[in-house]
Amino acid sequence: MLYVSSDEQLAMIKETARDFAHLHIKPFIMEWDESQKFPIELFKKLGDQGFMGILIPENYGGSGMGYQAYITILDEISKVCGSIGLSVAAHNSLCSNHILSFANEEQKQKYLPKLASAEWIGAWGLTETESGSDAGGLSTTAVSDGDYFILNGSKMFITHAISGDVAVVMARTGEKGDKRGISAFIVEKGTAGFSAGGKINKLGMRASETGSLFFDQCRIHKDQLIGEIGDGFVQALKLLDGGRISIAALSLGIARGAYECALKYANEREQFKTKIFDFQAVGFNLADMATKINAAELLIRQAGSLKDNHQKVTKEGAMAKLYASEIAVEISNDAVQILGGYGFTKDFPAEKFFRDAKLCTIGEGTSSIQRMVIAREIKKDV
């Protein structure tokens, strides 16, 4: 299946995202990386640009763009800094998109305009200390108490845990092991019994804040329930189908950034009075890198096209995420190697792409989980 898009429109979006990244992100990436600073003021600017409500319709204050534009924006931002790309992806595809996809009209009117403008930063809580890939095994509970639910438990590895103004949280409302026993709730910062902390010191993606959420007799009104009781896990799985396109696009940008860094260096660096690009080992390596990036983009664009046309994207999203994340790791590793000793220093961006890329094979479903999803889907073809 070929994807369909307006070349002119995408070119304009690409140019806007590229200019923004080079002006507002590139000068500060190492400062933010070294200090592990989450540059919240940058995300307000991204909100002004319309990049924090990409998929949200205009009547809720969003940009009303589709997945082809979303992929393009993430690609351009992540080509400069994977951390910022990750936070843009998490805000758009998880918290905001969960509310857009499954909340009632009153909830959409209340939260989406603030999220689309980045007046509020969004978080999404599924993962726990003891439940990662086995997301259905979560332990956080929500017990009904009249017109309220009482939440107890914690969430781990949550993007924007500390700085987020609102979180969509999955909690158990039924028996453990029952996939229909999980519900989704909207929890605002400042709610009694709701707190955050434990900022994680990470290998890469250091400017994208990651921490924990804590619920201690957290009392929320039943109006904060998204959908019906027991819908939460099904909602999360459907959301992750699209979320995998986000991580694939993030991976694509990181791979492209690493490749362009290596390509530029190979055309400048001389050894034995020859540009190192002209050594077959280097030239062929770069040729393979360019081919894999193009292949990854085609997979991602195909998945985006299916999503824009409201078709099932479970298999294609998993394939795109699996392939793009794995080649991001491979290409960033090769970029460090092409730069040699310089690739191991922080004077060149190759080492940061190398560190950032690994998360893409883990977040929103590990590579093993993607293979499991793909295997399950292709078995249906037998």
* Two tokens, residue 88: 């843009």
Distance CA 255, CA 330 (A): 8
Cα–Cα distance, 376 to 382 (Å, whole number): 11
Asked if 151 and 192 count as a contact pair (C-beta separation under 8 A), the reply is no
End-to-end CA distance of the chain: 21
Helix (H) / strand (E) containing 214: strand 210-221
Which residues are CB-contacts of 99 (< 8 A; sequence separation ≥ 6)?
A: 107, 108, 111, 112, 115, 168, 186, 226
C-beta neighbour count of 266 within 10 angstroms: 20
Residue type at 22 in one-letter notation: H
- Measuring CA to CA, which residue among 86, 103, 353 is closest to residue 224? 103
Which ranges constitute the DSSP H helices of 21-142? 29-35, 40-49, 67-80, 82-90, 97-102, 105-116
Catalytic machinery residues: 364
Cα separation, 144 vs 216, in Å, equals 15
Residue carrying the six token digits 């990662």: 132
C-alpha 190/C-alpha 187 separation (Å) is 9
The closest alpha carbon to 234, from 159, 360, 126, belongs to 126
